[in-house]
Amino acid sequence: MIPSLLLTIGLFTTSATTAPGDWPHWRGPNRDGKSSETGLSLVWPKAGPKVVWQNSNVGTGYGSVAVVGDYVYLLGGKDNKPGSAEFIRCLKVADGKPVWTTPLDTAAGNFNAAWGGGPRATPTVANGNVYCLGATGDLVCVSAKDGAKIWSKNLVKDFGGAIPSWGYSESVLVDGENVICTPGKKTGMIALNAKTGETVWSCTEFKDGAGYSSIVPTEVDGVRIYVQQTMASALAVRAKDGKLMFRTGEIGRTVAVIPSPVVSDGYAFFTSGYGAGCECYKLASDGSGGVQATKVYSKFKTFQNHHGGVIQVGDHIYGHSDSGGWMCFAFKNATDEPVWKSSKLGKGSVSFADGHLFCYEEKNKGTELAVIKATPEAWSEVARMKLPQNSLTDKKSGAVWAHPVIANGKLYLRDFDLLFCFDIKTP
């Protein structure tokens, strides 16, 4: 083992049937926003790549899709009202037609739907099952084959959680035999048996309110941990027993904490909007079977990602910052300056494939996606397209918030109750 630190994200397997090119859960194979696809066709006509299909009835919601083999999975809501019934839906990759739909038996619960109703999370496909979390805390496991319900829990009723202001948005992690998520309040984090839903461990050493971020797993000198940020903290919990490894954070997390952490090369990077900024920690063994975090910097204001996430490529972070538009940031350096910034596209989400960033703006009319080279040299654009159609459903104050998904030569873009599949595979 390397003496200083071995830290790897890609050590967890979600499903024995998951193949290279699949996108089995939130932010791709390793929950870092990166597709394993290569050899994609990124020279597009003005109208954009070929539309394979469009489904205009996937249900309301902001979650991205999961893609495994011949099937697409996503969450939707019946309408755009608070408390609207939620469901998980399976579609065919070939034509977007529905295979099965299973209701979540949506629990009663209050959240602010002024930014649009419907579920917020992305399903997780693992071991022949699909795991998903509804806006009011319904954690459900169903069969990937036919949608038959296997077990269900509610994060509020069963674990003392509290619904965040705009609804639970976390996309749950399946790591080995366990499902892990963040109820908040009375129970900071839980691990449940993936087959039965029985509690394996619960961490009550922190009782922060749940934010809108999703857990990233990693290993530090052989110690497996789950890295997360809440409404108050940057933290990590040990995988084997739920023991809190560290809890820190000096940026002013407030209102809504949304982006998932970035964990790479022995560093943990956290960012949030509403003026919070970003902070970075070096992770290492504490010599006693645990992990410690040493501050590299905090309270930096240049990079402030409200939502849409960030992508780490090499020594740089890419994404949108409220302080200056699209940005490249050297995240390991204690220097609060961008490498470059650009205003050539509106605020939005980002994913990565084949050496390029797929930047998807959040506008409700004329939404564009730009493909740029993932380079610290400058904003280097190679392709751009307009979404063929925006949703006609009133999202109130909401916007286009689902992240792009690149899987098996296809690009999936969602706008609330619309889902498009584009062919970007090189012939």
Q: Count other C-beta atoms under 10 Å from residue 335's C-beta.
A: 12
Position 176 confidence tier, pLDDT thresholds 50, 70, 90: very high
pLDDT at 9 over 50: no
- CA pair distance 324, 279, nearest whole angstrom: 17
Spell out where 287-380 has E strands. Answer: 291-300, 310-313, 316-321, 325-330, 340-342, 348-353, 356-361, 368-373
Q: Is 247 exposed, middle or buried (0-12, 13-18, 19+ CB in 10 A)?
A: middle
Strands 173-175, 178-181: pairing kind = antiparallel
- CA pair distance 293, 230, nearest whole angstrom: 16
pLDDT at 3 over 70: no
Residues above pLDDT 70, as percent of the chain: 96
Token pair listed for 383: 């392709």
Q: State the residue for tokens 């699909």.
A: 130
pLDDT of 17 reads 61
pLDDT of 155 reads 98
Encode pLDDT of 82-116 as tens digits.
778 999 999 999 999 999 999 999 999 989 989 98
| CATH class (in words) of the domain with range 7-423 | mainly beta
Q: What H or E segment, with its residue span, contains residue 328?
A: strand 325-330
pLDDT at 283 over 50: yes
Beta partners for 53?
421
Half-sphere exposure of 59 (CA within 13 A, CB side): 27
Position 419 confidence tier, pLDDT thresholds 50, 70, 90: very high
**Cα dist. 305→294, 308, 317, 328 in Å?**
22, 7, 11, 12
**Cα dist. 172→296, 311, 313 in Å?**
29, 20, 24
Strands 223-229, 216-220: pairing kind = antiparallel
Indicate the domain borders of the chain.
7-423
Could you tell me the sign of the dihedral formed by the alpha carbons of 341, 7, 182, 196, in that order? positive
Q: State the residue for tokens 């190679």.
A: 382
pLDDT of 10 reads 40
Q: Count other C-beta atoms under 10 Å from residue 17's C-beta.
A: 14
- CA pair distance 6, 323, nearest whole angstrom: 33
pLDDT of 15 reads 41
Q: Which of 177, 181, 157 is nearest to 169 (CA)?
A: 181
**CA angle, corner 66, sides to 262 and 423, nearest 5?**
105
pLDDT at 215 over 80: yes
pTM over cut 0.75 = yes
Q: Is 270 helix (H, G, I), strand (E, B) or coil?
A: strand
Rounded average pLDDT over 242-258: 96
Spell out where 136-261 has E strands. Answer: 138-143, 149-154, 173-175, 178-181, 189-193, 199-203, 216-220, 223-229, 234-238, 244-248
Position 427 confidence tier, pLDDT thresholds 50, 70, 90: confident
Contact 228, 218 (CB under 8 A): no
Query: How does the average pLDDT of the chain come out, rounded?
Result: 94
Spell out where 85-222 has E strands. Answer: 86-92, 98-103, 124-126, 129-133, 138-143, 149-154, 173-175, 178-181, 189-193, 199-203, 216-220
pLDDT of 257 reads 98
pLDDT of 11 reads 40
Contact 181, 230 (CB under 8 A): no
Q: Is 189 helix (H, G, I), strand (E, B) or coil?
A: strand
Token pair listed for 386: 């307009």
- CA pair distance 210, 180, nearest whole angstrom: 13
